[in-house]
Amino acid sequence: MISSDDDAAPVPPGAPPAEDRGTRTPRGRRQEIVEALLNDIVAGQFASGERLITEDLARRFAVSHTPIREALSTLAGIGVVELRPNRGAVVRRMGPRDLIDLVHVRRALECEAIRRACGRVSTELLDHLAWQFGRLLTARDLRGQRFVDLARRLDNQLHDAIASACGNALLVTELNRLKLLFRAVRDAAWRRVGTPQHRRLLEEADEHLAIVAALQAGDRRQAHRAMSRHIRTAIRYWLPLMSSKSPSE
């Protein structure tokens, strides 16, 4: 869908030049907007029940209304906003029960994916991931944000590789639809008291190593068990999000 000229948002002060903005594809820019809004919602920057006004968001992101509407539709599809008649997009309240349900759904999807992917993930990739996760556990040259960035990148790479190798298109679609929410909650949990949770990142690296080892051995049962344990332990870090969000909730 192509927006009309009168639908275009004015460029706010400090926005990147038009030629820089034009280097992004519409899909890539829309994805950036989805991720930015999702991170704000999970971190409590928007109160539950708060309206997300298209015009304000278009001004914030220096885009037309069209990618904003598409981004809000995507967020509605993963359950963090509601599209209400005469009110538009409204932030949906997320409580402890929602996070527990999210963990259960994620465990069901990820455990089925790894069971199917066992024996189908590249040996070279698994060897690389095993080395990198081992490095996270032992390297002394990784500190602060470098450590967090590498942990996040490896986490994404492992779970994406498992999904890609599972051989079930519908399962991949559901994992891709929900992974933005999984990862936004993960990142917020890591930062919930203002600094990344270093101990949790080390625990996750150890859990990921167990997953990789099971995949390397081609052991479906052990891979399923390692993935289930990894997902279950996340709830201990996700639930405190509910007590550290904005007081307006």
User: Where in the chain are the domains?
Assistant: 5-91, 96-244
Better pLDDT: 19 or 47 = 47
Q: Supply the CATH classification number for the domain 96-244.
A: 1.20.120.530
pLDDT at 142: 64
Q: Which CATH architecture is the domain 5-91 placed in?
A: Orthogonal Bundle (1.10)
Topology alike, domains 5-91 and 96-244: no
pLDDT at 182: 87
pLDDT classification of 16: cutoffs 50, 70, 90: very low
Q: What is the 3-state secondary structure (H, E, C) of the chain?
A: CCCCHHHCCCCCCCCCCHHHHCCCCHHHHHHHHHHHHHHHHHCCCCCCCCEECHHHHHHHHCCCHHHHHHHHHHHHHCCCEEEECCCEEEECCCCHHHHHHHHHHHHHHHHHHHHHHCCCCCHHHHHHHHHHHHHHHHCCCCCHHHHHHHHHHHHHHHHHHHHHHCCCHHHHHHHHHHHHHHHHHHHHHHCCCCCCCHHHHHHHHHHHHHHHHHHHHCCHHHHHHHHHHHHHHHHHHHCCHHHHCCCCC
Q: What percent of the chain has pLDDT over 70?
A: 82
pLDDT at 192: 61
Segment 24-36 shows an average pLDDT of: 83
pTM of the model: 0.76
Better pLDDT: 5 or 181 = 181
